[in-house]
Amino acid sequence: MSRNQWTTLDDRAVATARALSMDAVQKVGNGHPGTAMSLAPVAYSLFQRFLVHDPSRPDWLGRDRFVLSCGHSSLTLYVQLFLSGYGLELKDLQEFRTAGSLTPGHPEFGHTTGVEITTGPLGSGIASAVGMAMAARYEKGLFDPQGTTKLFDHNVWVICSDGDLQEGVSAEASSIAGTQELGNLKVIYDDNRISIEGDTHVSFTEDVSARYRAYGWNVIDVAALGDGNVDRENLEKAMDSAVAETKKPTLIRLKTVIAWPAPKLRNTAKSHGSALGAEEIAATKTLLGLSPDLDFQLPEGVLEHVRQVIARGKAKSAAWDVEFSAWQKANPEQASLLARLQKKELPAGWEKSLPVFPAGKDIATRAASGKVINAIAEVLPEFWGGSADLADSNNTTIEEGHSFLPATSAMKDADPFGRIVHFGIREHAMGAILNGIALHGLSKPFGGTFLVFSDYMRGSVRLAALMDIPVTFVWTHDSVGLGEDGPTHQPIEHVASLRLIPNFAVIRPADANETTAAWVEVIKRQKPVGFALSRQNLPVYDRTSCGSADGVAKGAYILCDTDGTPDVLLIATGSEVGVAVAAAELLKADGIKARVISAPCLEWFAEERDSYRESVLPSSIKARVSIEAGVAQGWREFVGDAGEIISLDRFGASASAGVLFKEFGFTPENVAAAAKRSIAKAGGNK
């Protein structure tokens, strides 16, 4: 790679970056200065000399992606965004970790220009970077499967820490990356051997290089210089080697000394997460050749020098534009697809190809979802995904989609641009990888496992919601209705727990047509969602006598109504809607008018206008019963003081669905009895 010769101005810029990191933490009184100090030359080389980017076009399609997996060291990124001209200015560094600033404690996607991903939970960044690298390959297959251009070839660079590589999610994802031969993934591991508790050897002693070689990675070890500083020359040689390696992901294991060159606090745990103090900062600035008395100083010529990266970036993106224009003319079909995906548009009438299920034949919602997934795949080439080794149970396989595997794979049906991702039994990594795919920007990912195992991936689910990215989690085997596998596999608290995540929608459809309607809404909304789907068959409702499944888009709707004002409202989700329908018939025989409300998505219902919610759940009707085979939490809000909650607040058992539903009270008779109790409490005379 051709680069400008390193000069004394580059040395001054690195020294400035170290000092700005110290000053920012000292000013606010908290933060993580040590890693940002030692990583300053690493990040500087990356942003100034290796990363393909254009600070004037932060969303340029041809850019490399950068992930700071050790998000606590956010100043490592913020300082480079400032120096590179991404819009951050000196005042933003001075406002570090303060209310309303562009420089929060951890990098936040969508908040600060140039931040590609929210990081902080250790391990999640490198795991999502695997997803970005996978997405880049998949998109290459959409636009240039024959490999006629380099337009869609770019790298994903990561800086990670000891803590990242201790987390299990990074190991899960790194194993997948090796199997997938993601040669576009370049990870720089900051091996400083310090964490909050001190020397990491109290808990972390394995040979990381050997572990990554065993994963199938290209591993390069770079020692520190004798004084503890980063060996920049050998690091850049390693980075050149990483760029040249296109068949394997690369791990550069870089030895550093945290807080270098602080005279007293280098290589200490205190420098990890605390301000260094005025005396130590002054002494360090002296060692760096800076004024010990000036804060947030910018030596003469430094900013002008580093901002030249903008011109270099513009030149790169302009050359890319020329080639891109030629590609558009030569490939009109692919160019049209790309334009649609960039605009986040859908083909006209795409949803008309999705299945409508006839009444009279029972079908599990997981099976219905599988049919919908395949129908969507027929019309949306950007739609792809897989499962944590449960595809046949989750119904997440795209027929004739081929397995997403490198061209060298000996596995049957392998295709580097395949649409079926085999995540292996790695739920957390699957979630993080899906996040990375969504963040990459052009495709629509989904991933499946059993609902009970959403526990394993909750951190990734929460980050999807926090970043507000369109990831679809397909969770099946949604209740004790899964039967004989027993309590280890029967979710009880999971639906209620997932509903607690802000900005996340949980969808539990009652039948096959609700499942179709929900998928349509998911694709349209482009928001983070999770399906909770049944293992067991459920009746398909006759929509000529029941409310239209289009009501799913509103989150809850009237499925079965009565003449006149109802005496009681029965609110149910998923398989329990059928119990509510049967209970309404029993109540009708006793002269009690019951309205059955299917509520597949309480989050969507909450977004509706007050007038619509009132039309479904009239406030004047106090007699209400909720029916859901999970914990009661959350339902009191809907049923009120006079309402009854049919719930399951204990673990399940190993038996058939029919036996368990009867044992735990999910029967029409029990619901009807609860309705009568609620009517009595509400002051009714039935």
**Is beta strand 194-195 parallel, antiparallel or unpaired with respect to 198-199?**
antiparallel
Dump the DSSP string for 623-678. Answer: -EEEE-SS--TT-HHHH-TT-EEE---S---SS-HHHHHHHTT-SHHHHHHHHHHH
Nearest one of 143, 157, 146 to 66, comparing CA atoms = 157
Q: SS3 for 575-594, per residue?
A: CHHHHHHHHHHHHHHCCCCE
Residue type, 367: A
Is 7 exposed, middle or buried (CB count within 10 Å of its CB: 0-12, 13-18, 19+)?
exposed
Do 538 and 359 form a contact (C-beta atoms < 8 A)? no
User: Within 10 A of 502 (CB to CB), how many other CB atoms are there?
Assistant: 8
Q: How far apart are CA 50 and CA 41, in angstroms?
A: 12
Q: Which two tokens stand for residue 397?
A: 């396989």
Q: ∠547-543-559 over CA atoms, to 5°? A: 30
Tokens 């996040």, residue?
435
Q: Which two tokens stand for residue 266?
A: 């280098």
Q: Where are the beta strands (DSSP E) in 402-549?
A: 403-404, 414-415, 420-422, 444-450, 472-476, 505-507, 529-533
Q: Which two tokens stand for residue 446?
A: 């989904």
Q: How far apart are CA 573 and CA 192, in angstroms?
A: 51
Q: E strand or H helix at 521, and its extent?
A: helix 512-525
Residue of 95, 139, 172, 427 marked catalytic: 427
* Strand-pair partners of 594: 568
The total number of residues written for the chain in this structure: 686
Q: Which two tokens stand for residue 372?
A: 């919908």
Q: E strand or H helix at 524, and its extent?
A: helix 512-525
Q: How far apart are CA 312 and CA 319, in angstroms?
A: 11
Is 181 exposed, middle or buried (CB count within 10 Å of its CB: 0-12, 13-18, 19+)?
buried
The reply to whether omega before 299 is within 30° of 0 (cis) is no
DSSP summary character for residue 46: I
Angle between helices 124-143 and 332-342 (to 10 degrees): 150
427 is catalytic: yes
Q: How far apart are CA 674 and CA 686, in angstroms?
A: 13
Sign of CA dihedral 670, 671, 672, 675: positive
* Strand-pair partners of 571: 597, 626
* Strand-pair partners of 472: 446, 529
Q: Which two tokens stand for residue 33?
A: 């200065």
Q: Which two tokens stand for residue 202?
A: 């109290």
Do 70 and 35 form a contact (C-beta atoms < 8 A)? yes
Active site residues: 427
